[in-house]
Amino acid sequence: MKFDMDYIAHNNALTEFNPYFKLFLTIILLIVTLALDNLYFDIIIFIIMSFVILAIAKINYKSYLKFLTIPMAFLIITCLFLIFFFGSGEVIYDTKIFGIVVTQNSLHYGVYTFFRVLGCLPCLGFLALTTPIAKVLHCLGTLKVPKIMIEIGLLMYNTIFIFLNEIDTMQKAQQTRLGYHSYTTSFKSLGALVSTIFLRSLDKSEILQNSLDSRGYNGELPVYEPKDRSN
């Protein structure tokens, strides 16, 4: 199954729901989850928000799990590092390898960090999976977030899709010619892919600039606010 976050954001039960409410709810929940030093609270938030995403926004559970996998991998690695390599105080477990030990202090940090971030993930997921990026950016715009940041966000968001497509095509072309058959060829192919993408992005940026200029771009993206004329 292909995971297309943007498609999900446009097609779920909460897409048309007030984006300001979603944005504020997310921000408040993030702050509270990060500020409170309480494991139970983190777990409760995780359960509640997952419930909202799966049952109320009616997002496919497979998509939700995919959304969680990548940050989860980072989270687990980070917390393992925290547990084994940081902190001081009473040693509770000695691995006997290079003097790497787990201390009371580091275990505490590792576990608490894990659960805090775990609580934050579905909060962010709630915003990312139920709200199209255009609406989020629009909200931020009306909330006086600097225009330049919103414009950069918008152009980046748009080009990400073009690049993902391009990477996909190139990767398939490389696979067709057995570019990922062994470790060495994989490394070589990946290198070629990255450098080509870099060169292409330079080309593309020039063409995009030309096409924007052709329509009278003056360095600032105007905001379009149509009135509802449906009746």
Site for another protein, rule CB under 8 A: 6-7, 10, 132-134, 137, 154-155, 157-158, 161-162, 204, 207-208, 210-218, 221-227, 229
Cβ 29 to another protein, closest distance in Å? Answer: 25
DSSP state at residue 93? E
Cβ 217 to another protein, closest distance in Å? Answer: 6
Cβ 106 to another protein, closest distance in Å? Answer: 44
Which CB sits closer to another protein, 2 or 229? 229
Which CB sits closer to another protein, 188 or 204? 204
What is the rounded distance in angstroms from the CA atom of residue 99 to the CA atom of residue 225?
62
Which CB sits closer to another protein, 16 or 94? 16
Kindly state the tokens that stand for 73. 């991998």
Reference 221, options 132, 135, 141, 131; nearest CA is 141
What is the rounded distance in angstroms from the CA atom of residue 179 to the CA atom of residue 96?
42
Which CB sits closer to another protein, 107 or 154? 154
Distances in Å between the Cα of 148 and the Cα atoms of 19, 140, 219 are 21, 12, 10
Kindly state the tokens that stand for 143. 């909330």
Cβ 158 to another protein, closest distance in Å? Answer: 5
Contact 15, 129 (CB under 8 A): no
Which CB sits closer to another protein, 90 or 220? 220
What is the rounded distance in angstroms from the CA atom of residue 231 to the CA atom of residue 221?
29
Contact 54, 61 (CB under 8 A): yes
Which CB sits closer to another protein, 34 or 212? 212
Cβ 169 to another protein, closest distance in Å? Answer: 12
Helices 183-214 and 147-176 pack at an angle, to 10 degrees, of 140
Cβ 163 to another protein, closest distance in Å? Answer: 10
